[in-house]
Amino acid sequence: MDNPTRPQDATPRTDIATPLIAWFRAEARDLPWRRPGFPAWGTLVSEIMLQQTQVARVVPRLEAWLTRWPTPADLAASPPADAVRAWDRLGYPRRALALHAAATGIAEQHDNVVPRDVDALLALPGIGDYTARAVAVFAYGDRHPVVDVNVRRVLARALLGQGEPGPAKAKQDLPLMESVLPDDRDDAAATNAAVMELGALVCVASSPACDRCPIADRCAWRAADYPEHDGPRAPKQAKFAGSDRQVRGLIMAELRASDVPVTRDEIEPVWPDAEQRDRALASLLRDGLAVGDDASGYRLPEG
């Protein structure tokens, strides 16, 4: 568990929490996971769905998911194939299998209650450091720094005077976020959410809207007249079009649409490059998103 108070050796920072909290409480988007009474299970599902996926695509899928599986035990009782089908076009379908595995762990080990402790969350299959901290903060109101790509960009600009955050480094990113968190738990949770929201809506990667930023007068990057970034850069994701990810998605669409095993002959038309198509299929089998062989056909995992 994180220390609930700011570390004594944390570098003193300009107070950005106060104006950010005021801005967030006035301007934050009305999203399901921010509403009073939203369950911890819903927070966990939303955080996994939101990884590398736009909010607008997640909201309807999240609502349908929680209607069908309102508790972890409900999801655990369904075969993994149902989770993959329900994931539909959210992308990175391994997340559906990870969520199913986490739901099974919660149902079996935690009496169907999403754990509050970060270490207990990390012990669940498929749950990483960001998701564990986000659930502890946004579902239970505990005081931890939560860092995603938007947070890293805001902190790099506002505190370090850098236009880009560079590659992720947890040993640096988490203490930096910790250094701006108020001691009060509610204010700390609001600060985490506010920094994320600012990075998503205002302090965006290209063409940040500094005229709408509540901490523009405290931003080190702005004060330095927006110097060009000359340090290491975070790796960029490869283009989707023509990638193995696209081919994997096309094969997955075939498997989701069929209630019977799909033959290799039926898979072949989804992509003209046989070598890339076979590579994508092999990776789906390796990841557990597809099962079968040429003789029996290919299908989604049933359990």
Please state, in angstroms and as integers, the Cα–Cα distance from residue 299 to each residue in 82, 118, 233, 258, 293, following that order.
12, 35, 40, 8, 9
Token duo for residue 56: 């607008």
Residues 136 and 118: their CA atoms lie apart, in Å, by 6
Cβ atoms < 10 Å from Cβ of 26? 8
The DSSP output letter for 134 is H
State the greatest distance between any 2 C-alpha atoms of the chain, in Å, as a whole number: 66
Active site residue 47: yes
Residues 221 and 227: their CA atoms lie apart, in Å, by 7
Residues 13 and 192: their CA atoms lie apart, in Å, by 15
Burial of 146 (0-12, 13-18, 19+ CB in 10 A): buried
Buried b (16+ CB within 10 A) or exposed e, 41-76: bbbbbbbbbbbebeeeebbebbeebbeebebbbebb
> Do 1 and 167 contact (CB within 8 A), yes or no?
no
Helix 185-201 × helix 17-27 angle, to 10°: 70
Question: Which residue in the list 47, 164, 178, 197 is annotated as catalytic?
Answer: 47
Residue positions annotated with a catalytic role: 47
